[in-house]
Amino acid sequence: MEPLACLNGEILPAAEAKVSIWDRGFLFGDSIYEVMRLYSGRMWIEEIHFARLRRSLREMQFPSVDLGRMRERIGRLLAAGEVREGTVYIQVTRGVAPRLHAFPDPPVSPTELIVIRSYEDGPTALLRESGVAAISQPDLRWKRRDVKSTNLLGNVLANEAAHRNKAYEAILVDDGIVTEATHSSLLWVREGRLEATPEGHEILPGTTRAGLSKVASGEGLPIQAGRVTLEELLAADEVILTGTTIEVLPVVSIDGHMIGGGRPGPVARRLQSGFRTAVANWLATPEIVDWTAPS
């Protein structure tokens, strides 16, 4: 089935959705986005995604966006289609205006796009079992990586390098310190600790990482803030990617160097099992919206 889109409130086939050439998202990358996972027609960790969306809009000084109306539009789009296992893509631009670097004055209405697509998890599920290869790349992105902007050229170039080297992902290194991956959060295990780069301007606050923190704590492995060089990462017991569609994905080699024993480790397996259990329990309890809320 062809994906459906909702463009500024109008539902139509995605292929028919058109945006002006004067849209600031097209001209400047002046836009932010979110991607949420659908399990059985429900949006997983919806509240975390909307909190990050709200923060990105605020940090980029966007005019007011009615997120309640956006949720209503997502609901209408879900009802109009047949996607049960898929993704919800949201993009908000600063709107259509003459091409000037300064913000439109007075402000114009933001352009709001929602697209719902089906997602086949089978190929990724196989990768979760085997683990994946990664390479390292210099982190060339702008300095506000904590905002989920569509300015992704640095990510694209690094991921293309991974693709050309037959690797799944590129792990980014800034001034000798590992930050994250091109479209995944990064975790590692050393000396019995599960660690990740502390949140801040250096990395995007990963929604799956945030949701997974409850699983990890339940497994007696709270995610601790830490910093690691590439050399130290290569010596880690385990390296793990997390993301909306990949969920919990072990890395078994970086730059051709075997990680751990060259196969998914015990921490990754525990997190995978805990994650799937959390999703199953959430789906079995329709009244629960925010699974990550304190119990």
d(CA 123, CA 232): 30
Q: Which of 18, 148, 166, 214 is catalytic?
A: 148
d(CA 39, CA 30): 30
The full 3-state SS of 77-128, as one line of letters, equals: HHHHCCCCCEEEEEEEECCECCCCCCCCCCCCCCEEEEEEEECCCHHHHHHH
Cα–Cα nearest to 22, from 114, 113, 100: 100
CB burial of residue 176 (10 Å; 0-12, 13-18, 19+): exposed
Q: Is the CB of residue 238 less than 8 Å from the CB of residue 260? A: yes
Look up residue 167 and give its amino acid: A
Is 148 an active-site residue?
A: yes
User: Which residues are catalytic, by number?
Assistant: 148
